[in-house]
Chains A and B, each alone.
Chain A
Amino acid sequence: MKSNNVLIVTKKELFGIYAEKTIVFAILLQLFIALFSSFLMVGLTTMYDPNALSGYQGVEYGIGYVGSDGDLYSIIDGRRDLRAYGMDLNTAIASLKERQLSAVVFVPDTPPDAEGPILVTLYMLQNDIQSAIVEVKMKEAFLAYEEELRTLRSDRLTLNPIRLNFPDSGGRSNYFEFVFALLIPLLVFMPAIISAALIIDLITEEYQSETLETLLSTTVTYGEMLWGKILACIAIVPIQSGAWLALLAANGIVVQHPLEILLHVICGSLILIIIGAFCALHYRERTSAQFIFSTAVVVMIIIAMSVPYNPLNLIVRLAVGTIGSLHWIVLSGVLALALFLSILLTRYAGRISRLPR
């Protein structure tokens, strides 16, 4: 196999990708998803963790309080973002329906140290984002009240669980886990899957458009053609993944160890691309090859995710900086697998190229 010929094929494919401006679509896609970043911060973080909604601050929401004044009243009214009004139930509900109030609580006269539980009824508006925010704030108030009641009834508790004192200051963060442990591995690995689909397109197109004969009538051999295409597909992976990392950095999300992450992505994509190439060589027809390959990818990703220290997990750990040199061992394992697969592929290609077409 002449490396020169491989490079010629690589160059031809890369030029084709450039000339067709398909890569522009890939970048447009990235920008489009980046445009969602505002959305991701509010919408998706919320979906991932509804408690993030409490980040909405700066307004005071009116709460109708029905019942005799008690600890719950002062807890609600003591919050900066809630204000309690003592009212009767009928007026309170009518006001709620007119949106003069954000929620109504009905508190019965059960004494705090009673035998049974205290049942508070919470009325909220349906179909409303404001309700969702207020509900989170009410939850915090209820939790505080629950803790008070629990202390009051503590002589009736028998178990003695471990207790920790959490600092009150410093705030909380919900978006970190979402961004680093879900979004980043997803975004960084997507180019690998795109490239694997690309190798199928490149190979099956030669067969289906019957251009393979022409290509092989030059000095280029079958194996050189194959590896040239694989190289082209790998070459665009770090460009796209790197673009993601840069885009995230521009948004203030700085990922640690970007080079190591890219190495993991390249090795992972090598395996996916080789498997894609197997499918393409076997079926020599795009529809079938893509169908089998995409199902196989789903299976592989699910299996990979259920193993500890899988490449996706390593990318996350690298990004947050909690892995030592251990990841090099996994990386070399993945690389060895890729090399083994590539030897198999070369043999398979050799067998196929001798078959009559």
Chain B
Amino acid sequence: MRIGYLHQIAVVARWELLRTLSTMGRGILPAAIILFVLLIAASGLAAERGIHIQDGIYRLGTDNVPAGEVIAEDPRFMVFIDSGASLLNNRLFYDIIILGSEVYVQDTEKGRAALTSLERVFESYSAFMNVQEPDLYAAYPLWIDRIYERSELDFSATQSGQRISPLPQTDAPQPSGPILPIATPQASVPYEPDQLRSGISRAAAQDDTVSRYTQLIASDSELGSFRTPNQLAPPLPFDSIILIFVFIFPLYFTSQFFMMSIMNERIERKGEVLLSAPYRPSAIILGKALPYFVMMLAISILLIMISSLPPKTILPLIPVILFFLSAALVIGMLARSFKELSFLSIFFSTIATSYLFFPSIFANVHIVSLISPLTLIVLEIQGDPFTLTDYFYSTSLFYLTSGILLYAGAVNFNEERLFSLHRLIPRTIEFISAGISKTYPLISLFLLGGLVIPFVFMVQLMGLVLFFNLPMPLSLLLLIGYAAVTEEVAKSVGIYALAKILPGGLTWRHAIFGSAATAVGFLAGEKLLLFATIAQVSESVFGSIMFLSLQVLWMPFLLHAGCLAVVAVALKGGGFRWYLPGIALATIIHVVYNLTVIGVITV
């Protein structure tokens, strides 16, 4: 009797839930509750007593006792009070010496850092004194009203955040577009001195490193856009750090349980029972994943409600949840032992977190930030709702890669793969080769070529984030090399797997036509995804390098097929030892081609 597919999923999900509850119930709950209480107590302790990591990193000697007392408030400074002569005798011992009101600094990196911190200490001291002045406008004579305008030029013109306006000229610039009337700004601060006073002291009290990290979703808008010169600071979203810990960490944590559940099926062949049931592998996987998906969704919703964000914020988190779950599935199926599982998952989490986190730092400063779904949340928090296009743009890669990983998991969810004890890389190749049909290798290679595209894009976008803040020519060169290596490795995966599974190794027919088929698949996938999603990035200087191959079709086809053929011939002629040299040669050809196209090398 065939059971309906949805019913299969439901049965496996219920089974998984019961098993998790029974395992976790054994003694976990009391310990977890105690630890949770301890965690709250510890956070309270840390908030009260401060974080003592930077204590005593600078030595400061002075004969000015009142100044020394002010500085000693900051735990970073070890203050030594002594006579001027003996201070000078031991001057190498100190990073800073203050004689009277003169400050002398060691000419080292550390001395300069100490001076920077000392200036900060004195800035907040002056702010503390100034705010007590009866005549506030004598102490704070200058107020700034900061207003943000939207640029009318889009990202394609500003690209890397580099300056694009013409070089400074002697005359004032003349706008080419229409000149619209702007309301004359007000000439007086619309607040009472007392309001301003409390605003300043509040801001001064917050100005230390700890509060910068713990200060939840910024709301220091007591004075609106008005501030003193000292309070001006560029809008860098510190929220994204908090977001990582608040949203991503619990999700990552929960996905670990799924990873472990998959791994448990493989230990001592426990999963044989499950496999012998009349269930489809994909139903088993979805059923096992379902409880965790619901749990992660519930955690996210709870967090959103606690931080009173708009419900829409859940949308960017869904692809992240799917991505974590599908990666957990594949890692759980690949790892041979617990320690391998640990290392793989730490490795994955670092990379995934960087991918999510680093772009979102630039949420307000650069469009590149949109490659991370977290940026959408940062924008949402700032009251800048994201559009459907933004959503599509930053999440489609996550949806696609999750889908492909889940598919790979489902195809390989059988006895042979689950219980094999091969090493990691051969296992990975086995996983990939499951997608290659020996009867129709060319069609498989074509499909595989298309399927690797989302991963290639992810890796390349990661590189874009890494390199875009380096100086201009260097960042372009690094990106060209990086993109070429990524593409060559990704393309060669299919051929490599084919060479492994074919009993007689690659034939010449496979090498040549296989390269062509992969190249066609690769191009098709690239074009499809590119037009659908990342048109914005691809219009920038960086994008045009990464996705250089789109202007004319036959040239990139020859490039992709030719480079891959180099690898294939290396594999055919020299065996697997020649794979890396083949990749290296292909990369060089690829880089030279790219440099020629952008005109660095002229033919």
Contact = CB atoms under 8 A, between A and B. Distances in A.
A50 B236 contact: yes
B174 A95 contact: yes
Contacts of A185: 53
**Taking chain A's interface residues, is the majority helix, strand, or loop, or is none over half, making it mixed?**
helix
Contact of B146 (A85, A97, A122, A171): A122
Interface in B225-255: 226, 228-230, 232-236, 238, 241, 253
B116 interface: yes
Given A165-B102, A322-B58, A47 B361 contact: yes
B152 interface: yes
Contacts of B181: 90
B552 interface: no
Contact of A38 (B23, B179, B340, B469): B469
Contacts of B342: 22, 194, 197-198, 201
Q: How large is the interface on B (under 10, 10 to 19, 20 to 34, 35 or more residues)?
A: 35 or more
A198 B364 CA distance: 40
A340 interface: no
A250 interface: no
A309 B28 CA distance: 33
A219 interface: no
B221 interface: no
Given A185-B53, A295-B35, A305-B51, A22 B175 contact: no
B59 A139 contact: no
Nearest to B126: A161
A34 B453 CA distance: 27
Given A33-B350, A110-B187, A120 B142 contact: yes
Given A154-B138, A165-B102, A177-B116, 16 more contacts: A25-B346, A43-B469, A93-B149, A118-B143, A120-B143, A121-B147, A122-B147, A128-B161, A143-B229, A146-B228, A156-B135, A177-B117, A181-B54, A287-B256, A299-B38, A303-B42
A343 interface: no
A159 B54 CA distance: 32
Interface in B37-56: 38-39, 42-43, 45-46, 48-56
A264 B174 CA distance: 63
A115 interface: yes
Nearest to B49: A306
Contacts of A48: 209
Residue of A29, A158, A159, A288 with most chain B CB atoms under a 10 A cut-off: A288
Contacts of A46: 236
A320 B470 contact: no
A119 interface: yes
A33 B111 CA distance: 27
Contacts of A175: 113
Contact of B56 (A90, A119, A317): A317
A251 B209 CA distance: 25
B365 A299 contact: no
A306 B50 contact: yes
B577 interface: no
A16 B57 contact: no
Nearest to B119: A166
Can you list the 7 inter-chain pairs with the closest CB atoms, starting with the nearest? A176-B113, A132-B234, A201-B338, A142-B229, A129-B161, A85-B172, A100-B173
Contacts of A122: 144-147, 232
Nearest to A305: B51
Interface string B162-193: 11111010011111111111101111110000
B112 A173 contact: yes
B67 interface: yes
A228 interface: no
B148 interface: yes
Nearest to A152: B141
A145 interface: yes
B500 interface: no
Given A108-B187, A283-B27, A166 B115 contact: yes
A132 B236 CA distance: 8
A164 B101 contact: yes
B241 to A, nearest CB: 8
B141 A291 contact: no
A90 B180 CA distance: 6
Contacts of A171: 112
Interface residues of A, number: 146
Interface in A191-206: 194, 197-198, 200-202, 204-205
A306 B118 CA distance: 23
Given A32-B351, A194-B346, A100 B166 contact: yes
Interface in B183-205: 184-189
A19 B229 CA distance: 60
Contacts of B107: 170
B233 to A, nearest CB: 5
A283 to B, nearest CB: 7
Contacts of A17: 339
Contact of B150 (A33, A97, A167): A97
A62 interface: yes
Contact of B180 (A86, A94, A112): A94
A79 interface: no
A126 interface: yes
A54 B202 CA distance: 26
5 contacts: A39-B465, A97-B150, A97-B151, A292-B28, A313-B54
Residue of B52, B184, B188 with most chain A CB atoms under a 10 A cut-off: B52
Given A100-B166, A126-B151, A117 B142 contact: yes
B229 A288 contact: no
Contact of A323 (B56, B162, B469): B56
Residue of B126, B132, B346 with most chain A CB atoms under a 10 A cut-off: B346
B66 interface: yes
A93 B350 contact: no
B171 to A, nearest CB: 8
Interface string B123-134: 001100110111
Contacts of B104: 167
A22 B343 contact: yes
B138 A156 contact: yes
B309 interface: no
A91 to B, nearest CB: 6
Interface string B437-449: 0000000000000
Nearest to A51: B233
B358 interface: yes
Contacts of A62: 165, 168, 173
Given A177-B57, A286-B338, A316-B54, A292 B23 contact: no
Contacts of B3: none
A135 interface: yes
A177 B141 contact: no
Contact of B364 (A28, A61, A97, A126): A126
Residue of B110, B177, B336 with most chain A CB atoms under a 10 A cut-off: B110
A106 interface: yes
Contacts of B27: 282-283, 288
A145 B229 contact: yes
B416 interface: no
Given A97-B151, A291-B28, A299 B53 contact: no
A83 B116 CA distance: 27
B434 interface: no
A312 B228 CA distance: 37
A212 B339 CA distance: 16
Nearest to A22: B343
A121 B233 contact: no
A175 B110 CA distance: 10
A312 B113 contact: no
B32 interface: yes
A150 B138 contact: yes
A74 B172 CA distance: 16
A26 B186 CA distance: 59
Contacts of A204: 338
A37 to B, nearest CB: 10
Interface string A292-314: 10111011001101111110110
A125 B161 CA distance: 12
